């Protein structure tokens, strides 16, 4: 689906589904709609852990990670900075430390947080991430 926003004063959106304009020709867009949404910041209380499906042939992986313990994470952030902040890896910019962290992008990482939802559960709710 391709969505194009016009620069006209009415702020219209046009959409094409697989190049077929007959299915969806256009829809109205109200720029004030986004201001009425309830926004909750979810950038606190995040934790990360190594997925249980990591590549077990990597002997360089710290044993604390292999236990699938959860560690505090900073969101937004990266796995490299989270590992560094939790003193699991040494500073990759010092000496040849970068050579010892080759395994990090080869692993699957889990990030999670919990939050309370107090909205109306009888209607649809969209969970929108501004970046992942």
* pTM for the predicted model, two decimal places: 0.66
Question: Tell me, what's the pLDDT at 27?
Answer: 57
| Cβ neighbours, 10 Å, residue 103 | 17
Reported as a pLDDT band with limits 50, 70 and 90, residue 22 is very low
Please report the sign of the dihedral spanned by the C-alpha atoms of residue 43, residue 49, residue 52, residue 58. Answer: positive
- Average pLDDT over the chain, rounded to whole? 77
Helix (H, G, I), strand (E, B) or coil at 81: helix
* CA distance linking residue 98 with residue 66, whole number of Å: 21
Residues in the chain: 132
């Amino acid at each position: 689906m391709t969505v194009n926003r016009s620069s006209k004063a009415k702020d219209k959106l046009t959409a094409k589904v697989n190049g077929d304009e007959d299915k969806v020709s256009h829809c109205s867009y109200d720029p004030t709609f986004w201001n009425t949404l309830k926004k909750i910041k979810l950038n606190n209380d995040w934790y990360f852990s190594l997925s249980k499906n990591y590549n077990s042939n990597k002997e360089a992986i710290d044993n604390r990670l292999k236990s699938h313990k959860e560690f505090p994470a900073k969101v937004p952030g990266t796995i490299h900075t989270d590992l560094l902040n939790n003193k699991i890896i040494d500073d990759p910019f010092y000496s040849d430390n970068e050579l010892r962290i080759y395994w990090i992008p080869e692993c699957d990482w889990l990030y999670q947080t919990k939050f309370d939802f107090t909205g109306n559960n009888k209607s649809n709710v969209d969970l929108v991430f501004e970046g992942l």
